[in-house]
């Protein structure tokens, strides 16, 4: 199981997941603002 | 009594241990890692308190964000976000390098991480100087300075830690078998980076 507090490697992988979520949130906001 | 003390001394003579006895180890997790784990859990709670204030004024109070008549420098902050994300990549490069015994990668990775962190902090201070409003102007501005300032303080502490790791790297410390001193500060720096992504998304984007 991924645990960001176990090692630098895991912490870095969690960072990548957070970036992916961040990109999705921004994309959704940009799309919603264009539509609404 | 005398026999007991002789037996005690004999028991110690067989061990190759000097100095105080080892600390009681009740956790299977190594102490440096456990310390960082507990520290980060407490950090999440501190940031949680500040985010509570942010969501309170936006959702419970229904105040507009940002305050009327003010503008947040979203593009500059986005560039700053990319700089901080890059610093996590260079730090990971340093960490993987030392695991493989690549000393150049460790030194170059640590130095570039430190410089990218300094750049982030410099841009943020510059942003404060030119943003055009003060913390006491509105509740929104108080929250803005509190959240970004709390994070900035963490970046500053992180930079001090990174500087120490960088200096040690240039002095020949760390090896493929012994790199805990890069690993644990690395977890802290990635945490600071992740926290900034959350701060940036809530303060500048949402």
For chain A, give every domain's residue range: 1-36
Global pTM reads 0.84
Chain B residue with the nearest C-alpha to that of A26: B205
CB-based contacts of B200: which residues, under 8 Å, 6+ apart? Answer: A22, B77, B78, B81
CB contact under 8 A, A22 and B201: yes
ipTM of the complex: 0.80
Chain A residue numbers touching B186 (CB-CB < 8 A): 8, 11-12
Residues in A closer than 8 angstroms to B113, CB to CB, are none
Provide the token pair at B136.
């006491």
What are φ and ψ of residue B66, in 5° steps?
-70, 180
Reduced to 3 states (helix: H, G, I; strand: E, B; else coil), residue B200 is: helix
Report the residue of chain A nearest B191, measured CA to CA: A11
Domains of chain B and CATH, by start: 33-205 (1.20.120.80)
pLDDT tens string B137-176: 889 999 999 999 999 999 999 999 999 999 999 999 999 9
Q: Does B193 touch chain A (CB under 8 A)?
A: yes
Round to whole Å and give the CA distance between B36 and B29.
11
Q: Quick check: B40 contacting A, CB < 8 Å?
A: yes
The label of the residue with tokens 């790297």 reads B169
What are the structure tokens assigned to B92, written together?
């990971």
Q: CB–CB of B88 and A12 under 8 A? A: yes
Q: What is the pLDDT of residues B4-50, one digit of tens each?
A: 444 444 444 445 667 776 667 776 778 888 888 889 999 999 999 99
**Token pair of B201 as six digits:** 């998304």
């Amino acid at each position: 199981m991924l645990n960001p507090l176990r090692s630098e490697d895991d912490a870095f992988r969690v960072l990548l997941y957070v970036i992916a979520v961040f990109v999705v949130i921004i994309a959704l906001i940009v799309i919603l603002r264009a539509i609404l | 009594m005398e026999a007991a003390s002789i037996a005690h001394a004999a028991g110690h003579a067989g061990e190759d241990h000097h100095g105080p006895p080892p600390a009681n180890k009740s956790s299977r997790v190594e102490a440096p890692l456990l310390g960082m784990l507990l520290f980060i859990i407490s950090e999440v709670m501190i940031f949680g308190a500040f985010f509570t204030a942010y969501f309170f004024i936006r959702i419970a109070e229904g105040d507009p964000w940002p305050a009327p008549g003010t503008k947040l420098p979203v593009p500059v902050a986005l560039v700053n976000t990319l700089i901080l994300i890059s610093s996590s990549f260079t730090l990971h490069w340093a960490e993987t390098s030392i695991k493989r015994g690549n000393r150049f990668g460790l030194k170059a990775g640590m130095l570039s991480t430190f410089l990218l962190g300094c750049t982030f902090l410099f841009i943020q201070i510059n942003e404060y100087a030119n943003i055009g409003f003060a913390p006491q102007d509105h509740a929104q501005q108080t929250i803005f300075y509190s959240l970004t300032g709390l994070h900035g303080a963490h970046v500053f502490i992180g930079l001090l830690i990174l500087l120490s790791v960088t200096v040690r790297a240039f002095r020949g410390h760390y090896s493929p078998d012994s790199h805990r001193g890069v690993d644990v500060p690395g977890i802290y720096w990635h945490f600071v980076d992740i926290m900034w992504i959350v701060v940036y998304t809530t303060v500048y984007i949402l």
